[in-house]
Chain A
Amino acid sequence: MILYNLKITLRRLFNDKAFSTINVLGLVIGIASFLILFIYVSNEKSFDKHFDDHENIYRVTSVPGGHDNAPWARSLGIVHTASATIPEIELATQFTHCAVGEIQIGENSLQQNNVLSVDEAFIQLFEVEAKVGNLSEINKPNTVFVTEDFAKKHFNGVNPVGQNISINALQYVRNVGDYEIRGIVKNTHPKTHFKYELLLSQKGGLQERYEAQPNRKTQWLYNYYKLQKGVEPNLVAEKLKSFWDASSVKQTRGPQEYNFALLPMADIHLKSDYRFELRESSSKINIVLFIVISFVILLVSLLNFTNLTIAKLIKRSKELGLKKSIGANQVQIIRQVLVEVLFFCGLAVVLSLLAVEAAKPFVNHFFEIEFNVYYSEPVVYLSIIAVLIICLGLTAIFVSVFLLGKNSTIEILSERSNYSGNYVLKSLLVGQVAIVIILMSGTFLVNKQINFVLNQPLGFDKENVVVLHSKDLSKDPAVFTSELQKQSMVASVGMTAQHFGYPSQRLPLDGLGIDGTAEFVFANYDYLKTMNINLIENWISPSADTVRGMVINNHLYKRLLERHGTMEAVNAYGDSEPLQPGEERIGFIGVAEDFNYSSAHEPVGDFAFWLDESRNRARFIHVRLGEGSLQAGMDAVKTTWQQYYPNQELNYFFIDEKIAQQYKAETILSRILSAFSIIGILISVIGISALSLFISQQRTKEIGIRKVNGAKVSEILVLLNFNFIKWVVISFVIATPIAWFAMNKWLENFAYKTALNWWIFALAGFVALGIALLTVSWQSWRAASKNPVEALRYE
């Protein structure tokens, strides 16, 4: 019987190629989109879960009191010291991470990403596996382990063990020394919240720095604990706090209070978006939205599929009725239809898997996500089975409701049922169009918000500024910058130790009589000029040849005035505070307009520029190029760089791109929403056009009669379109409140939000209406322009 049904299904598939293609295509688009998003999300959600004891591993953070804004993933050195005194901790590791450093192999100096300096506990905790060598040698001074990829890239099959790598620069250290390669380790598991290419020993070149950490209030290290099974992380955090309270470090200059917290490792990738994350984390809200979107798209395509299936059934009702007359019972008929549905779904799933594979590079490139299908993981198969069950289930329910609703065979045989009067079809189409309207208005809003945050006044000018990453500070950068300044293409050059978007440093404000810390960056005065940062107050003495001092932002300025009344009082208060050894006083020399240092997710906080001309400020050289000559300007910069740093690769980026990157999550969301609205629209167009084709076919006789009696083509178009307009209007009414609610929720994530205008919904509604009208009109026009004689002969 199944075989018999399958045979009919296959023949029908080939007989009605156009319909089959449309039906399967709609489903394939939907299922492929669903699989891509769903598998992506499940990948993101399974980060770090491949570690055996991931439930017991925690990252420790220490956030200075009074400054909960923008916490760091790094923590105090004392966190590691404390671990020895807390018995609940099974294993503790500390390590440093350098996102971009510089190494030298032989004569070649290269940029190197993801350099970690680690201890043996790290190897154990994160299950680092050696392919060559003995990992216990990580304890020996100046040893390094490289990954398979690194070995392949730089040594090309030759065994690198015994070779030397010079570490020229890490994040804050230069000339760390020569490291001997002692082995090769497996590449980092792709679903880990960090990535390493080089694992350095903490002994030797970096030893001094490590030893100094426990006595400092700097946050240079990443600290991870593995707790014993069943231990409450809060308990450990409390013990850590007591250890801190008893330590002598607490009493030194700087914040006294720190909030210690343990975050489960498996939560880092999705839930933590701290400064200095080891790897870009995913936006949690996006993940939630992606799940929603993936199911919505699946739903749209299934509604469409069901709709077309039922429409086709109506067309075939004669055949089904006939089968009843020759002895098929209800169950056999439903079974036949379900076999067909299953066959179509199965075919669609297979095709979607191929489509997913084919689309993978494009998806990764366009959405800037890391999407991969790990066929070894059960989630892939589970989601496929889920898709099949949902497909079959949903279609089965609607089809059965539709089929069982017809009790009289003769009614089917005489084709008394029709499409336009069918409520199942109507509600399916309305649901589908409503979803598309929600998706579209969502897309409009997300784009509007991104434009809003990218184009709101930043307090500085982000256009045409290129940032050069200088690594060799042994040469005086001032010579290089003045050389650059001579180029006609270059408008101005400034130096800073951090750029916008890069985590800044912390300045405790207790010395000025107010709570919390301000973010601050080292820069020189030319930097402010280069970035076009306006000074509201300028106390710089015009006669000074070097500018030294603090420029604070308006936010901090207002807070200081609120506390002290006048700037004189502020200065007097600052001067009365005793100086710690090695500290010097810095005066305030100006007030800058407020600007967004990080992103519009966070409100503007206290901020300061520490201006001076010392060399260490020159890590990032900001060059403002003359307008309109970007290419020529870059050429000039490159030539100068070559002359001045002949052996160094030039690493640079444009500041506006960097700022746009802070909204990467939103950009990805916007692209995904746009893509999926288009897919949704596409599927709906397929559905509407097939449905209107059916309807116009069924009304052929009516159209013919109307034309014989003098109706114009345009009048018939109006007649046929009117139904669809009604449906779109109903969809719009359903969709608008849902969309409005969802968007309001999403906007709550921003400190600065765009307005939720009425036109967003109106536009979405009109686009939906326009598309429906175009599609329907095309089919209706074909039906309406037929010769009425032909139309009437059709009966």
Chain B
Amino acid sequence: MIQLKKIDKYYDAKFQRTFVLKGVNLDIEQGEFISIMGPSGSGKSTLLNIIGFLDEPSQGEYLFLGDPANKLKEKQKVQYHRSHIGFIFQAFHLIEELNVYENIETPLVYRGVKGKERKALVADMLDRFNIVAKKDLFPSQLSGGQQQLVAIARAIIGKPKLLLADEPTGNLHSEQGEMIMKLLKKLNDEGMTIIQVTHSKENAEYGDRIITLKDGYVREK
């Protein structure tokens, strides 16, 4: 599904080139659950962002479903965001002005899904995550775990093939974190490809494969 070949990411400052990623090779098959680990600044998030088309590699080749990503136009990237990729962030990134229902609904709005269909899909999702009672609440009225739950619901409502999670439990209590991890595992069991970035060894174990990044290099275990 995802093939990274000799991916470099660097920033140029006056006389110095700072590498964030260097020569990263990675193959990810459909249905895998990958955990990316590594110390701060090792390039984990950058790697995730490149995979999710939020950032571009400075060098190297990235094939997504066999298509070379560096040749993708903005339009196609938007298309992938709509139908193939879902994101979850450490800071949840819910839209403050929208309530739970509307936050989950947002991707569908951008996709141009009809109102009736949207209603059904969102209702399904609320039901599945057991948050029907909270649908009219705003993010500030929810606990962290609940917010992340909403964020996941929002990320998967478009039935993406790939779910990218950037430290999904980083801001949560361990109890809530465990709940989220179990949920991710369940999604993976249903066939969704998941790539997560995490600091926690414990959480990394949920994955089928752990990739460790250090100073921009990959050390796979």
Please report A residues at the B interface, Cβ cutoff 8 Å: 1, 4, 7-8, 11-12, 15, 318-319, 322-330, 332, 408-410, 413
**Residues of the A chain whose Cβ atoms lie less than 8 Å from the Cβ of B55:** 408-410
B78 touches A329 (CB 8 A): yes
**Residues of the B chain whose Cβ atoms lie less than 8 Å from the Cβ of A318:** 93
A15 touches B97 (CB 8 A): yes
**Residues of the A chain whose Cβ atoms lie less than 8 Å from the Cβ of B52:** 325
> Residue B74 at the A interface, CB < 8 A?
yes
- The residues in B between 57 and 101 inclusive whose CB is less than 8 angstroms from any CB of A are 74-75, 78, 81-83, 86-87, 89, 93, 95-98
Can you offer 6 A-B residue contacts whose CB atoms are under 8 A?
A8-B97, A319-B95, A323-B95, A325-B54, A327-B158, A329-B74
Listed stretches B102-110, B169-177, B204-212; interface member: B102-110
Alpha-carbon distance between A451 and B83 when the two chains are bound, in angstroms: 73
> Residue B165 at the A interface, CB < 8 A?
no
B81 touches A327 (CB 8 A): yes
> Residue B56 at the A interface, CB < 8 A?
yes
**Residues of the A chain whose Cβ atoms lie less than 8 Å from the Cβ of B111:** 327
Selected from B49, B56, B95, B112, the residue in CB contact (under 8 A) with A322 is B95
Alpha-carbon distance between A330 and B93 when the two chains are bound, in angstroms: 19
**Residues of the B chain whose Cβ atoms lie less than 8 Å from the Cβ of A323:** 95, 106, 110
> Residue B154 at the A interface, CB < 8 A?
yes
**Residues of the A chain whose Cβ atoms lie less than 8 Å from the Cβ of B106:** 323, 326
Alpha-carbon distance between A226 and B106 when the two chains are bound, in angstroms: 69
Interface size class of B (residues with CB under 8 A): 20 to 34
Q: How far is the CB of B213 from chain A (nearest CB, A)?
A: 17
Q: How far is the CB of A322 from chain B (nearest CB, A)?
A: 5
B155 touches A326 (CB 8 A): yes
Q: How far is the CB of A521 from chain B (nearest CB, A)?
A: 74
Alpha-carbon distance between A324 and B79 when the two chains are bound, in angstroms: 11
When C-beta atoms are compared, the residue in chain B nearest to A1 turns out to be B109
A4 touches B95 (CB 8 A): no
Q: How far is the CB of A318 from chain B (nearest CB, A)?
A: 7
B110 touches A328 (CB 8 A): yes
Alpha-carbon distance between A8 and B111 when the two chains are bound, in angstroms: 17
Selected from B56, B78, B89, B93, the residue in CB contact (under 8 A) with A408 is B56
A326 touches B56 (CB 8 A): no
Q: How far is the CB of B73 from chain A (nearest CB, A)?
A: 11
Alpha-carbon distance between A330 and B74 when the two chains are bound, in angstroms: 9
On whether A326 and B107 interact (CB within 8 A), knowing A410-B54, A413-B54, the answer reads yes
Please report B residues at the A interface, Cβ cutoff 8 Å: 49, 52, 54-56, 74-75, 78, 81-83, 86-87, 89, 93, 95-98, 102, 106-107, 109-112, 154-155, 158
Most chain A beta carbons < 10 A, residue from B81, B87, B154, B155: B81
**Residues of the A chain whose Cβ atoms lie less than 8 Å from the Cβ of B97:** 8, 11-12, 15
Alpha-carbon distance between A15 and B56 when the two chains are bound, in angstroms: 36
Alpha-carbon distance between A327 and B78 when the two chains are bound, in angstroms: 5
**Residues of the A chain whose Cβ atoms lie less than 8 Å from the Cβ of B86:** 326
When C-beta atoms are compared, the residue in chain A nearest to B87 turns out to be A325
**Residues of the A chain whose Cβ atoms lie less than 8 Å from the Cβ of B155:** 326
A409 touches B110 (CB 8 A): no
When C-beta atoms are compared, the residue in chain A nearest to B49 turns out to be A410
**Residues of the A chain whose Cβ atoms lie less than 8 Å from the Cβ of B110:** 323, 326-329, 332
**Residues of the B chain whose Cβ atoms lie less than 8 Å from the Cβ of A329:** 74-75, 78, 110
A326 touches B96 (CB 8 A): no
Alpha-carbon distance between A323 and B106 when the two chains are bound, in angstroms: 8
By Cβ-Cβ distance, the 7 closest A-B pairs, closest first, are A327-B82, A11-B97, A329-B78, A327-B81, A326-B107, A328-B110, A410-B55
**Residues of the A chain whose Cβ atoms lie less than 8 Å from the Cβ of B98:** 8, 11
Selected from B89, B93, B96, B112, the residue in CB contact (under 8 A) with A15 is B96
B158 touches A322 (CB 8 A): no
**Residues of the A chain whose Cβ atoms lie less than 8 Å from the Cβ of B93:** 318-319, 322
**Residues of the B chain whose Cβ atoms lie less than 8 Å from the Cβ of A408:** 54-56
Most chain B beta carbons < 10 A, residue from A1, A11, A318, A332: A11
**Residues of the B chain whose Cβ atoms lie less than 8 Å from the Cβ of A8:** 95, 97-98
When C-beta atoms are compared, the residue in chain B nearest to A332 turns out to be B110
Most chain A beta carbons < 10 A, residue from B87, B93, B107, B110: B110
Alpha-carbon distance between A655 and B68 when the two chains are bound, in angstroms: 89
Q: How far is the CB of A404 from chain B (nearest CB, A)?
A: 11
**Residues of the B chain whose Cβ atoms lie less than 8 Å from the Cβ of A12:** 97
When C-beta atoms are compared, the residue in chain B nearest to A9 turns out to be B97
**Residues of the A chain whose Cβ atoms lie less than 8 Å from the Cβ of B112:** 1
B49 touches A326 (CB 8 A): no
With contacts A319-B93, A326-B154, A326-B158 known, what are 13 further pairs, Cβ within 8 A? Answer: A7-B102, A8-B95, A8-B97, A8-B98, A12-B97, A325-B81, A327-B83, A327-B110, A329-B74, A329-B75, A408-B55, A408-B56, A409-B55
Alpha-carbon distance between A11 and B54 when the two chains are bound, in angstroms: 28
Alpha-carbon distance between A42 and B52 when the two chains are bound, in angstroms: 57
Alpha-carbon distance between A392 and B115 when the two chains are bound, in angstroms: 29
Selected from B54, B75, B95, B109, the residue in CB contact (under 8 A) with A409 is B54
**Residues of the B chain whose Cβ atoms lie less than 8 Å from the Cβ of A327:** 78, 81-83, 107, 110-111, 158
When C-beta atoms are compared, the residue in chain A nearest to B56 turns out to be A408
Alpha-carbon distance between A7 and B86 when the two chains are bound, in angstroms: 24
Q: How far is the CB of B171 from chain A (nearest CB, A)?
A: 14
**Residues of the A chain whose Cβ atoms lie less than 8 Å from the Cβ of B96:** 15, 319
Most chain A beta carbons < 10 A, residue from B83, B87, B95: B95
When C-beta atoms are compared, the residue in chain B nearest to A5 turns out to be B109
Alpha-carbon distance between A408 and B102 when the two chains are bound, in angstroms: 26
Most chain A beta carbons < 10 A, residue from B56, B93, B98, B107: B93
Q: How far is the CB of B195 from chain A (nearest CB, A)?
A: 14
**Residues of the A chain whose Cβ atoms lie less than 8 Å from the Cβ of B74:** 329-330
Q: How far is the CB of A573 from chain B (nearest CB, A)?
A: 92
Q: How far is the CB of A13 from chain B (nearest CB, A)?
A: 9
When C-beta atoms are compared, the residue in chain B nearest to A4 turns out to be B109
A326 touches B54 (CB 8 A): no
Q: How far is the CB of A23 from chain B (nearest CB, A)?
A: 16
Alpha-carbon distance between A12 and B102 when the two chains are bound, in angstroms: 14
Alpha-carbon distance between A323 and B103 when the two chains are bound, in angstroms: 10
Alpha-carbon distance between A547 and B65 when the two chains are bound, in angstroms: 114
Alpha-carbon distance between A173 and B111 when the two chains are bound, in angstroms: 85
When C-beta atoms are compared, the residue in chain A nearest to B107 turns out to be A326
Most chain A beta carbons < 10 A, residue from B78, B87, B102, B158: B78
Alpha-carbon distance between A299 and B78 when the two chains are bound, in angstroms: 36
Q: How far is the CB of A327 from chain B (nearest CB, A)?
A: 4
Selected from B75, B87, B102, the residue in CB contact (under 8 A) with A326 is B87
**Residues of the B chain whose Cβ atoms lie less than 8 Å from the Cβ of A410:** 49, 54-55
Alpha-carbon distance between A325 and B160 when the two chains are bound, in angstroms: 12
Alpha-carbon distance between A15 and B106 when the two chains are bound, in angstroms: 19
Q: How far is the CB of A339 from chain B (nearest CB, A)?
A: 13
Q: How far is the CB of B119 from chain A (nearest CB, A)?
A: 14
Alpha-carbon distance between A323 and B75 when the two chains are bound, in angstroms: 15
Q: How far is the CB of B179 from chain A (nearest CB, A)?
A: 23
Q: How far is the CB of B3 from chain A (nearest CB, A)?
A: 21
**Residues of the A chain whose Cβ atoms lie less than 8 Å from the Cβ of B83:** 327
Q: How far is the CB of A2 from chain B (nearest CB, A)?
A: 11
Q: How far is the CB of B219 from chain A (nearest CB, A)?
A: 24
When C-beta atoms are compared, the residue in chain B nearest to A325 turns out to be B87
Q: How far is the CB of A228 from chain B (nearest CB, A)?
A: 65
Most chain B beta carbons < 10 A, residue from A12, A318, A328, A408: A328
Q: How far is the CB of B149 from chain A (nearest CB, A)?
A: 16
Q: How far is the CB of A15 from chain B (nearest CB, A)?
A: 6
Alpha-carbon distance between A332 and B78 when the two chains are bound, in angstroms: 11
Alpha-carbon distance between A250 and B83 when the two chains are bound, in angstroms: 96
Alpha-carbon distance between A322 and B155 when the two chains are bound, in angstroms: 11
**Residues of the A chain whose Cβ atoms lie less than 8 Å from the Cβ of B75:** 329
Alpha-carbon distance between A305 and B194 when the two chains are bound, in angstroms: 44
**Residues of the B chain whose Cβ atoms lie less than 8 Å from the Cβ of A11:** 97-98
Q: How far is the CB of B96 from chain A (nearest CB, A)?
A: 7
Q: How far is the CB of A328 from chain B (nearest CB, A)?
A: 4
Alpha-carbon distance between A319 and B109 when the two chains are bound, in angstroms: 15
When C-beta atoms are compared, the residue in chain B nearest to A336 turns out to be B110
Most chain B beta carbons < 10 A, residue from A15, A322, A325: A325
**Residues of the B chain whose Cβ atoms lie less than 8 Å from the Cβ of A332:** 110
